[in-house]
Amino acid sequence: MSEPVLLREDRGDGVVRLVLNRPRAYNSLSRELLERLEAALHELEAEPKARVIVLTGAGGRAFSSGHDLKEMGADRTYEGLRSLFELCSRVMVAVTRIGLPVIARVEGIATAAGCQLVAACDLAVASEDARFATSGIKYGLFCSTPMVALSRNVPRKAAMEMLMTGDFVDAATALRLGLVNRVVPRAELDRAVDELCARLLDKPREVLALGKKAFYRQLEMPLEDAYAFTTEVIVQNALGRAFEEGLRAFLEKRPPRWPEAAE
């Protein structure tokens, strides 16, 4: 039997690793892999014990090389292509909308929709030898859907250069542009991801979920609307049990014991 295209690894502390498992195809995003990833994200949203998602690729050569071009060529009809790109877009939206932090762990290449997936994640840690590109233009296909996530992460002219040339940028450039949060030697990649997970695990799950959803929603709003929306969000947050415990812990000079951890 063939290996599953998506692996799930539960650490036991609330960190769940989802592994794109098509290493011989540079973890390209086949329809099956996208479907499995979409289902896994919806499942994790409903699991109270899940706290942080780490998304990575198998094999070390690639995070993901984007869409499977062989598969695209085999069903190059309007209906086939539209359903594929709609599926991919749903996955990217699900990464953004899920009420859990999603960290991209990147080694090797992340190209086209693979680069899009890194950009869609909330946080990203890359090895020094990682490289990023929106390379569709080199095959006559402008990376229009990857452009959505990319342009919301990096400055406009940098995004346009990546989209129009399809050329790789190295990990140091990706860090400077804001596509990733940190870059480390490959041997230290897991430790860096684990350290970032630890910093999230000691925060209240419900407040991280509230804050993540509010962050992306307010980005889509005009300034005054964003302030009106986030004012209501922070009032509701301040009236909740997590802030009640945080305030009590501050006054009592002790670490907080978040409500969900005590249940």
| pLDDT single digits (tens) 91-124 | 999 999 999 999 999 999 999 999 999 999 999 9
pLDDT one-digit tens code per residue, 212-230? 999 999 999 999 999 999 9
Mean residue pLDDT of the chain comes to 96
The residue among 46, 147, 135 whose CA lies nearest residue 88 is: 147
User: Three-state SS string across the chain, please?
Assistant: CCCCCEEEEECCCCEEEEEECCHHHCCCECHHHHHHHHHHHHHHHCCCCCCEEEEEECCCCEEECCECHHHHHHCCCHHHHHHHHHHHHHHHHHHHHCCCCEEEEECCEEECHHHHHHHHCCEEEEECCCEEECHHHHHCCCCHHHHHHHHCCCCHHHHHHHHHHCCCEEHHHHHHHCCCCEEECHHHHHHHHHHHHHHHHCCCHHHHHHHHHHHHHHHCCCHHHHHHHHHHHHHHHHCCHHHHHHHHHHHHCCCCCCHHHHC
Region 184-194: what's the mean pLDDT? 98
Determine the pLDDT at residue 1. 61
| Parallel, antiparallel or unpaired: strands 52-57 and 15-20 | parallel
**Structural domains in the chain?**
6-201 (3.90.226.10), 205-262 (1.10.12.10)
Determine the pLDDT at residue 23. 97
Gap between the Cα atoms of 204 and 207, Å rounded: 5
Is the pLDDT reported for residue 263 higher than 90? no
Region 154-164: what's the mean pLDDT? 98
Is the pLDDT reported for residue 88 higher than 60? yes
Provide the 10 A C-beta neighbour count for residue 45.
Answer: 15
Which pLDDT band holds residue 2 (cuts at 50, 70, 90)? confident
pLDDT one-digit tens code per residue, 38-75? 999 999 999 999 999 999 999 999 999 999 999 998 98
CB contact at 8 A, 92 and 148: yes
Determine the pLDDT at residue 262. 43
Look up residue 189 and give its amino acid: L
